[in-house]
Structure 1
Amino acid sequence: MPAVILAALILSTAQSPTGAPAMPAERPAARWIAAPRPEMPVAALRGNIGSGTVVLNCEILDTGEVAGCSIVSEAPAGYRLGRAAITAMPAAHAEPDRPGRYEVVLNFIVQ
């Protein structure tokens, strides 16, 4: 059963003095050259969840590569959507003109 990712949005975040991501900054969001394309996990297909959302925190390097992603949230929990999103990120590539930390929102839906 094929899964389709409806949207992959990147919102910029500023760096706090402690190094933890802060609230969105007043700068343009990064743009995808090659958007992440995670596959719907088998657990999600078997669970018949239909859709889900994952928020990642990732570093966009000055080369456009995506690195250092961590899961901020995933819903519904327990279906490995976050792991699927992280696994897909090495193939993603952003415009290299806006390096920094970003929140990446991935919406999963089964069609």
Structure 2
Amino acid sequence: MEQTAPSCDPALLSCITPAEVLTVLPFLAAALLALGIWGLIRHEQRKHAGLMPKRGTEPGDDEQLLYAGERHVFGPGNADASRVYRVSRNPKDHARAMMPAKARKRTNR
């Protein structure tokens, strides 16, 4: 009887041998490393050029209003629960507001 070679189906990528994979693997790793280094350099350049948004707000004496809206879809009514919070832009007042109640009592003595 005649031996038939295993069929090679390009759609299933069954034609790729382990030796071919090992040949391509270092080039793939080098390309990914180069892409990662390029991304880090680009990020640092954008950050130092002022193109990245800065976090937080500038300190000041006024207050900032924050709107927190939530939609509840359970219970006997689909109501919006929204609140407006006043947050001081003064760093000392903001830190004092974030202090736990027990610590605030100790500092008031």
User: Which TM-score tier does this pair reach, normalised by the shorter chain?
Assistant: under 0.3
> Which of the two has higher C-alpha Rg?
2
TM, length-normalised to structure 2: 0.20
Task: Decide which structure has greater strand share.
Answer: 1
State the TM-score, normalized to the length of structure 1: 0.20
| More RCO (CA 8 Å, sep 6+) | 1
